[in-house]
Copies of this chain bind each other. A is one copy, B any other.
């Protein structure tokens, strides 16, 4: 997705600025929708059916669900005399919106072979046609409202683009033949990890969160004050080489590094190294990637860590994870730049071959989402979005941790410094790593 993503420049609930124009929205709509299809294109129909665990979804489910989102939140309420495409799709492709109606049991998404990939494509194009007509013809009175919902739908679809890739990676990994998602991925240049330095931040009262101008999710609001004691952050992400030291220092054998729940996972699930690592017969390490099995690049950022692993590594290293406020305060003002989806590596890379600030914090966006020590909780005075879309984020604010930045499979146009990604502590299948923090 080469073109930048058009931002909804007005605050969602008021109107400080005019909403984007119809052409801009139409172009964005077409770009995002097309891009999802491009991501699925390298996959066989067979690949697109499998659900490898309850947390993942089949590719064709992502393709249909993102379409259902537009059908449900835009066409049904706003398209005149809208005829539902297929009443059962509402059951099959509603993810979790209780306010919309009953839905298919999540762990059983992989039991559903129909609609086929081709039928989902017809569903997509049917909805797209009507969405385009709606964008063109909608009454100007409702345009600001529509515009907000469409931009929400596009951001929603970008999230599913990322999930589509992390999910299919997990699916293909189940296969002992270790098939590649694509064999034509861009090849990163050789490179070393940048030297690790520490950036210090003063004690103080800071503001974090979104100010409400331009698109954002409800969970990023309101902007509010946080007090931080003095702290410092590592200038870059932890590398595979560094994490391998932990592994080889019996990191997965010594309970004193681990949270109690993490130690239970280590023992119950037999964790001995990150999910996609595999020790070769010759003693070297390989890693399963979207391009297939590759030698482990020791200079690249370590990825696919659970919160438990990130926390254990930090403890072993004598440091800690940053809080979400520490990260956001430090990252404020940094341009959104890095190894994201557009690089087409689809994997964290060692060499920083895009222009980067020579000093300061590097790799803030791209490569891997960075675990913070902050439990995912509502910001003070948080109000979920009105209506059923209010189920989007708020009801998950329990027993998850916030991740900041963006990963190698996040669209650059989707990243924001105030973005709050969140996953449960045991999750390993996302591109998740860490940046060390310290007091003072």
Contacts and interface: CB of A to CB of B under 8 A. Distances in A.
Interface string A288-315: 0000000000000000000110010000
Contacts of A99: 255-256
28 contacts: A44-B114, A45-B46, A46-B49, A46-B117, A47-B113, A47-B114, A47-B116, A49-B49, A49-B113, A52-B111, A88-B176, A98-B256, A98-B263, A99-B255, A110-B110, A111-B174, A111-B175, A114-B177, A114-B179, A205-B227, A227-B227, A229-B381, A260-B398, A261-B398, A307-B398, A311-B398, A375-B377, A381-B439
A413 to B, nearest CB: 28
A412 to B, nearest CB: 30
A116 B44 contact: yes
Given A114-B179, A224-B229, 14 more contacts: A45-B45, A45-B46, A49-B49, A49-B50, A50-B113, A88-B176, A92-B177, A114-B172, A114-B175, A225-B229, A229-B381, A308-B398, A373-B378, A399-B425
Contacts of A60: 46
Contacts of A395: 258-260, 263
Contact of A91 (B104, B176, B259): B176
A281 B179 CA distance: 47
Contacts of A98: 255-256, 263
A129 B261 CA distance: 37
A397 to B, nearest CB: 7
Contacts of A91: 176
A358 to B, nearest CB: 31
Contacts of A263: 98, 395
Contact of A46 (B46, B108, B259): B46
Contacts of A262: 398
B47 A380 contact: no
Nearest to A255: B98
A82 interface: no
Contacts of A256: 98-99
A237 interface: no
A71 B176 CA distance: 20
Contacts of A112: 50, 174-175
Residue from A113, A263, A307 with most neighbouring chain B CB atoms (10 Å): A113
A50 B110 contact: yes
A96 interface: yes
A397 B375 CA distance: 11
Interface string A313-333: 000000000000000000000
5 smallest CB-CB distances across A and B, nearest first, come from: A375-B375, A98-B255, A227-B227, A111-B174, A45-B45
Interface string A377-389: 1101100000000
B175 A380 contact: no
A346 to B, nearest CB: 18
A262 to B, nearest CB: 7
Nearest to A176: B88
Contacts of A117: 46
A146 interface: no
B226 A227 contact: yes
A292 to B, nearest CB: 12
Contact of A399 (B114, B174, B374, B399): B399
A85 interface: no
